[in-house]
A = this chain, B = another copy of it.
Amino acid sequence: MIDQLVANIKKKGNPIVVGLDPMLSYIPETIKAKAFAECGETLEGAAEAICQYNKGLVDAVADLVPAVKPQIAMYEQFGVPGLLAFQKTVAYCKAKGLVVIGDVKRGDIGSTSEAYAVGHLGNVQVGSKTYAPFDEDFATVNPYLGSDGVKPFLKVCAANDRGIFVLVKTSNPSSGEFQDRLIDGKPLYEIVGEKVREWGEELLGECGYSKVGAVVGATYPEMGERLRKIMPKTYILVPGYGAQGGKGKDLVHFFNEDGLGAVVNSSRGIIAAWKQEAYTSFGEDGYADAARAAVLAMKEDIESALAGR
């Protein structure tokens, strides 16, 4: 699947991942009104509004981007109907040829981690049948529990040609509270980065990159530069562009010399572009076109930053 991701990036000439993190406040009133008219102001109504909103976004950007990253929390907050909307979104995006990174940040131990891996990236056995419940291409994984938590994911990735992105240095302001603490003179995130490299060694794709990627926030460019060197064959998923403060120039050291090695996520900056001053001319019902314009602007920002390095 890392090969598919890299192929998509080359084909579209673009390392942007669209974060499908729907909040009801992002969704135009016309979509919500229609969904609530059909299903009432219920969890099912919220889920239906999300599905329709996502469909508009995906249709508008599918030819431009290699991948999407739905954040499962935004679906899970609407309970079981929300999770059905997550599943439908994954399936819709895959049918459009997009690689789907499930931003699930799961992580547990042993058979429990395996259950998460199977549910999101693999197949579960029920009697004589097997099912692929959520069927994402990649999932994000939290490393706090160590190798016991990650290895079951590696097993499922190997068996199903899927991948993971392990949290290394997250984009949020307080990420340093634990991740930056020095251990024998080295920050924890570097130690996690070394483990990510090690976990990924057995899972290299034909493209030369590993099926085990890392999450490193755009908001910490110097750390990204250092981690790029520690994990040369690791794809880096970079959140924090746009709304969180990251800019194109902050991204250059996340990429390798071949122009590959990183995908950059933007969520609000794209999917709620219509609420930003720069895109108000699109209007609420033009939210999908506004998203497309925001992708193009972001692409140009990254391209010019990479050209200038």
Contact = CB atoms under 8 A, between A and B. Distances in A.
Q: How large is the interface on A (under 10, 10 to 19, 20 to 34, 35 or more residues)?
A: 35 or more
Interface of A: 21, 23-24, 32, 36, 41-43, 45-46, 71, 73-74, 76-80, 82-84, 87, 105-113, 115-116, 118-120, 124-129, 131, 133-134, 142-149, 167, 170-179, 181-184, 188, 191-192, 195
B77 A133 contact: yes
Contact of A177 (B111, B146, B173): B146
A146 B178 CA distance: 6
B87 A133 contact: no
A187 to B, nearest CB: 10
A237 to B, nearest CB: 14
Nearest to A192: B178
A145 B45 CA distance: 32
A47 to B, nearest CB: 9
Looking at A24, A108, A143, the one whose CB has the most chain B CB atoms below 10 A away is: A108
13 contacts: A43-B126, A43-B131, A73-B106, A76-B120, A77-B115, A77-B116, A77-B124, A79-B87, A79-B134, A80-B87, A109-B170, A144-B170, A148-B174
